Every structure is written in C-alpha cells, then in structure tokens.
Structure 1
Amino acid sequence: MTLTEAADAARADPPLRRNRDFLLLWSGASLSFLATRVTSVAYPLIVLWHTGSPLAMSVVSTAALLPLLLVQLPAGAVVDRWDRRRVMLGCEAGRIVAVGSVALSLAAGRLSVAHLAAVAFTEASLAVFYRLAERGAVRNLVPASQLPAALAQNEARGRAAGLVGQPTGVLLQSAGRALPFAFGAVGYLVSAASLLLIRKPFQEERSAAADPGRLAGEVAEGLRWLWRQRFLRAALGYVAATNVLFQMLALALVLRIKEAGLPSQTLAVVVGIGGVGGLCGALAGGRIQRRIRGQRTLLIAGAVSWALLIGAMGLTGSPVALGALYAGTGFVGAVFNVAAAVYQVRTTPDALQGRVAAAAGLVGSGTNAAGSFAGGLLLAAWGALPTVRTIAVAMAALALLAALAPDLKGELTDDATDKDSDD
C-alpha cells in the first residue's frame, strides 16, 4: 500500500468514534479492565483485614502474579487456535463465577485464604487470555490506517483504569467488604454482553481445525517466528532492560520519600501525578507515532528522554518536582507502548497474534522480579539518591546501545508492515 493509497483509505474509512464494533469492544474491555483493577487492589486489603497476617497477604498477592509467568505462552497458543470472541466470553463467564463466589462468601461472613488465593490466580489467568484475544481482535475490527489510533485508545484505557480502579477498589472495600467483588462481577457481565453485540469476526478464516496435541509445538512456532524477527527480538531485549530499571526506580522513589521524612501520602501524590502523565502519553501516542517515522527513532528518543528525566529526579527532593518528572517518564512510556503495540500487531500474521503478544508480555513481566531484587540490593547498599543516579546512567547507556545496535536497524517500513497485514 503506497502512502497515497493509505491516505485515500483513511479518508474513506469512518472515524473510530463511528465504528460501532470497535466502540463496543473498547467500552466492554474498559469495564473489564476497571473491574480487574478494582478487585486486584481489594485482595490484599481483604486478606489483611480477615487474618492480620502479612504472610497470608503475600501468598494471595503472589497467586495473582503467577499467571504472568506460567500462563502467557500457553494462553497465546490457545487464543490463536480458538475463536477469539468465544475465548473472551469464556473468560468473562469464568471471572463472574470466581469473583462472585468471593462476594457471596464475604456477604455470608465466611472466607479462607486458600479460596481467595485460588480466585486471585483464576481471575489473573483469565485476564491474560482476555487481553491476548482482545489485542488480536482489534486488527480485525478497524482499518489498517486507524490501527495506531485504536491501540492508542486501548493504552489510554489501561492507564485510566489504573488511575480510577485503585482508589475505587479502596473506597468500595471500605464501604463493604463484598462490594469490590460485586462490582467486578457486574463489570465482567456488561463486558460479556458487549461482546455478543459485535457483528464482525474477531479473526481471519482459519484453514483447518487445530490438533489438540500440538499445543507445545504451536507455542514453539510462535517463539521461532519472533526469534527470526531481528528488530522485534532486539526491541524486546531493550524493553526487558528498561523494565528492570523502572522496577528499581519505583522502589527508589519509596525510599526517597521516606529518607526525606515526608508522610507516606506524599508517595500517593507522586505516583498519581505520574499516572496522569501516562494517560496523557497514551492519548497522544497515536499522533506521535504517525509523525515520527521509525520505531528505532522512538526507542532512542525514549531512552534519552528517560535518562534526562531520571537524572533530574536525582537532583531534586521536591515532591511536586518528583511527581512532574515521574509524569514525564510515564508519558514517554505510554507513547512507546502504543508504538510497540502498533508495530507488533502490524507485522505479526493474524494466526500468530496471540503467541507473539504472549511471548512479548512474558519478556516484559519476566524481568520485573529481577528489577525488584536488584533494586533492593542497590538501595540497601547505597541508598535512594545514588541508586536513582545509577539508573539514569544505565538508561543513557541503553540509549547509546539502541543507537549502535545493528539489529535495531532492521525494522520494517510502514509500507512493508501494511503489505504484511494484507497478505
């Protein structure tokens, strides 16, 4: 597709705000994501309120995180072999039953830690399936020319769900122990109803029924395809490294506030301002991605911006300044997430969307634990301020590596990605 043809197609296509099927998917998924945020913040609060045990709280929190490591790869294969709409409907039905059981147990005054841990694991596992299926479906509901705008709206939706969901979960839990889970069940129910109203198929025609015994082989097929993509492979390594640094930065901010003798509420303000920056970046991500030609340029510019912003965080102790700088890092991160999602969805064949997105998600989430552990070691040895400055230097080194890495020069052009999407 030439640039002229793409421009003509963009003028011929109705805007996203008049795309009925996309709006139904987007609004239903918004409620689903909000429900997940509300229940996720309620789990540790409920456990601590019932048991008073930090260890029990840790068990339930860990159960909610395990699916990010254990479920993603098989979920990607399942999403690619089954009908995406049915997968998403099954996820919503399963989550209604799971969180509904917690609401009923709390209303009856009965709840065990084992029950809550099982529900947390189940809800998080189904969320992985839902997210992978929903990302693959978007490409089939919007024209190729509108994919950046659609994925930017999805990124904004996730950021907004985080901003609204966490305080909503706390407020609902304070008003009634069962309310966050009742809210979650209603949100998943409305999301399921929106899926039933969408007319377009969520995927391309599948040539043949999948062999049930080939799940491991299908996972390996997705990994092999991803490994052969030089640019995607190198970019994922870059993402993994930046995720390590941001996990360290999050811990350093907590200690920075504590070392300054500021009240703990100050951290909520700083993180809240940072969340607003991420939301703004998501809203602007589609436009920025269209104006900057080349994902490699975005990678380098993002790393340079992060290095400067984090370096400035090492020079100030003002909560307002820290919040503004943290908002800047969130803005850049959201723009980068939009660009990365557009590139991955455009370049990946429809039949491999779930597996490739799952592998990418595993790389991103798999480095979080390493970042937290490394951050704890550095903070214990050096304190907050030297750690923040070290993170800034490491980010600058990543920017230099991105500029020099030969594999990051092998990205596909927009014309090539559009052609690949049409094949």
Structure 2
Amino acid sequence: MKSSIVFKGVKSFALTTFALATPLLAQAYEFEVNDTTVSVYGYARLDMIYDVDAELPPAGANAAIPLDDDPRADITGHTQLHAKQSRIAFATSIPTDRGELKTVIEGDFFGGGGDREEFRLRHAYGTWNGITAGQTTSNFGFILGMNRTIDFKRQAGLPQSARQGQLRYTTGGFSVALEDPGNLGGTVADGFTPRGGYISHAASKEALPDLTLRYMGKAGNLNYGVSGLVRQLEVEDGALLDDSALGWGVNLEAEYHLTSALTLRGSVTHGDGIGGYMEEAPGAPAYVDPATGDVEPITLTGGTAGVRVAAGPGHINLGYGYATADLDDAIDAGVANADVANETFTDLHLNYIWSPVRNISYGVEVSRQTREIANGDDGDAVRLQGMVMYRF
C-alpha cells in the first residue's frame, strides 16, 4: 500500500502523563502516515554556569560538593557553557479496534558525563488500554512537589525523577508498576567510601522487581498525590551469607493554586531502603552488618517546599529541598567508612524564568547547595546559572 503523508503544521501537543514528569509542555510538529499520527518535539538549550565556590558537574550534585577542609574547596570561580540538556523526541498515535496505541522515544545529550556530550535515552515506552511498558519516569512520586529550577538536577528530597524499565497499569488516578530493582533504588552496600559514596556488596542481588503504587487526585485548586514503594533488599553468596530485608517508602505531594498568580507546592518522602528513589539520596539503600551478616535498610527522609509567583512575562520560583539519612546504626555496627558517608543534603534555588515570545524561554538563577557527612563535617556551594531555550 502506498503511504500518504499529510503535514498538519505546528500545534500544541499534550504529552502523556508519563512524559509530563518534565516541567516542559512541548510544542510539536505533527504529520500523518496512513492511520498513524507522528509528532516530533524537543528543544535546543544553552546553559551558562558560574560556580562561585568549587566546580560542580554540569547538572550540579550535592555529593560532589567538597567539604570545607578539602583543598578543592579553596579553588573558587569556575565557568562552563553546555548544551547537554537539548532534547528531541518522537511520539506516535495509532488507532486500533481496542483503543489507541501511543509510543514515545525521547533523549537528550547528558549521556557522556564530564565534557562529553553523548545521546542518552530518556523515555522509550508504549501505552495501550492503560498498560505501559518500556522505560519512563518511575511511578513513585510525580511533579507536584517539584520546584521549577534551571539547574538540571532536581532538588534533594523529591521522589527521583529519573527513568527506568517498568510495566505499569493505570486506571483513572491510580497506577501500579513493577520496576527495575537494580537501577534507581540501588544495591546493598558493603561499606562507604571516604568521598561519601558507597561500595556495592559483591553478594547483593535483585531477585524481585520493585513494586510502586500511586494515586493522583484533585480537590478544587488543590492537586495532590500519594505514592508507595515496596522492594526486597537481598544478599546471597552461595555459602554462609544469605539474608534479605523489606524496603518500603511513601511520598505525599501537593500543588495549591492560591490565586491565578500564586502557586504553593511541597512534598514529603520517607522510607527504609528506598535509596535512589529519593532525589539526591545521601545514603545507600541498605548495608550488611559485618558482625551478623544481616541486611539492614537505611532510613531516608526528605521534603521540599516552594512558591511560584507570576511576574511580567514569566514567573519567580523559590524552592527548598532537604534529604537526610539515619546512619547511626551503621556507624555503631562498624560498617567501613560509615562515619564519613553522606548524611544530609539541602538545596535553595531562586530564579526567574520568562518567555518573550512563544517557544523561547530565558532564565536566571542563584542556588546554594550543602553537604554534610555523618561525622559532622560539611561544605556548601553557590551557583549562578542562566539559560536560553528554543522549543520546537
């Protein structure tokens, strides 16, 4: 059969619920191939960054902040310009006898790390009759508590906004998913590193998928969400070591439109063994007690609060984020380097983002981020950032 292609020009394209985990509602070019509607959308973006203190990665990162006694903290003033956040995506919509089939493939150029700009897969999924399969944003949490920032790194304490493989079912405001257990959540730790990271235990295993549940609702000017997470944390070496523990987490988030010009938002996340399901999680999900061989989940608690105010052609955004890990038991158990593990992160962002014309956005931002390790040593960093974004 000969394919006929009809271009329909530029018009607003409403992304699916899952792609809405980014704060951008894209504009799209649409065309038809037989009975398939194809949409292309994305943006080109320049980020201009000046780190007043020590140099941080392009996307920021609390864990990269040098402590005050680190010689790197004295090397101040760093500039970088990059276009890694630039994004392109393709979406399709195909009618079937039993409902519409939609697919999305989306990527950016944050895959290389460092100075390299390599294409990175963000979303790759299809959805049909409420069933979503592929890679997309985790079902644990949404964007209601997410303060709008220019820094690509989301604020500490939020549910993780990264994407992973999953099978999800959605009906109305409720969704349930089976998700990749070794990706966002992380693995059981054998110890911590002097730089604040952790070492995965050689016997850590992922026997079962993580289970996530979410409900989204609305009451007048209030939008809210409740999420839950259950996961298994396990080690098994085929000899003496064989133990597991239950990990669990909850998230509450809300967005309240006080007036047409003023929006309040916030979130709370808490759990045992959730690890990277919390944005900028300061600790591993769990560790092996060196004396007993037991798997011990680490408790994480975080939250965000923010305000968004309309001003001229744009909005002023002020947001705060907080995330902390309870490492007392790990220190008492003698886990390697637990006293120098990351314990608490905070973020404070103030920005103004505006659009002089359709499809063009500018922004300026100042942020302060902090890092504290379990023994009380800490450090902080101030970043100035600007951005220019052209959407299509």
TM-score w.r.t. length of structure 2: 0.25
TM-score w.r.t. length of structure 1: 0.23
Q: Which structure ranks higher in relative contact order (CA pairs < 8 Å, sequence separation ≥ 6)?
A: 1
Q: Which structure: greater helix fraction?
A: 1
